[in-house]
Amino acid sequence: MHIPWRTSVDVFAQILRRHGVEQDSVTDVEAAWVGFTEFLQLDIDGIDSTPDSDADGFIIQWGRRSWSDNRLILTFTRQLAIADVGDHDDPYWQPELWQLDFEMAFDDEPDLIGLDNLDVHDTGFRFPPTGPLRTAALADTWAETQRHAPVRAAWIATPASSGLFFECVC
């Protein structure tokens, strides 16, 4: 299924609701992950189609961020290189990078202590195509997150707050 890039945030919110997840009041991180993995298998119209382009990827991030009231966070991000914007006649034209972030913030709980002090704070961006290669990359990414006890703890904790954001990052 192909969806327009401008409506991708709405489509993701619908998928989350189908999995029993309200974007602004998550109670089940695992259900949010299942919704995120479903959303990542949808093809997005309007992204850069240059061969070997990093036009559609994802990353999982964790730590403590000032913009979340200095709370601990776990974020599922899909990054898109949008090609159908801007002046293509401009010799310096580049696709715009947009990120759809599903951020879950947590209160300081004993099991989560150390989430912001790990040597690594994300899984790194992955850009496999939708389908079996993306499924394999998602399984590998999930396994990578589970190697860190505080990230595993966040996966089963109840967030204090959550939000879905879609913005240009360049």
The one-character DSSP state at 67 is: G
> What pLDDT is attached to residue 33?
98
What does the pLDDT look like over 70-118, one tens digit per residue?
Answer: 889 999 999 999 988 877 778 787 888 999 999 999 999 889 988 888 8
> Which amino acid belongs to residue 11?
V
> What pLDDT is attached to residue 18?
97
Cα–Cα distance for residue pair 56/109, rounded to 1 Å: 34
Q: Smallest Cα–Cα separation from 78: which of 62, 107, 94, 54?
A: 54
> What pLDDT is attached to residue 36?
98
pTM recorded for the entire structure: 0.93
Residues 6+ apart with CB under 8 A from 81: 47, 48, 53, 54, 55, 56, 95, 96, 97
Neighbours of 146 (CB within 10 A): 11
Cα–Cα distance for residue pair 141/137, rounded to 1 Å: 6
Q: Is 31 exposed, middle or buried (0-12, 13-18, 19+ CB in 10 A)?
A: middle
> What pLDDT is attached to residue 67?
75
Cα–Cα distance for residue pair 154/105, rounded to 1 Å: 9
**Which runs of consecutive H residues, i.e. helices, occur in 19-167?**
29-40, 132-145, 149-156
The sign of the dihedral angle between the CA atoms of 15, 141, 120, 114 is: positive
**Residue stretches of the chain with pLDDT short of 50:** none
> What pLDDT is attached to residue 161?
94
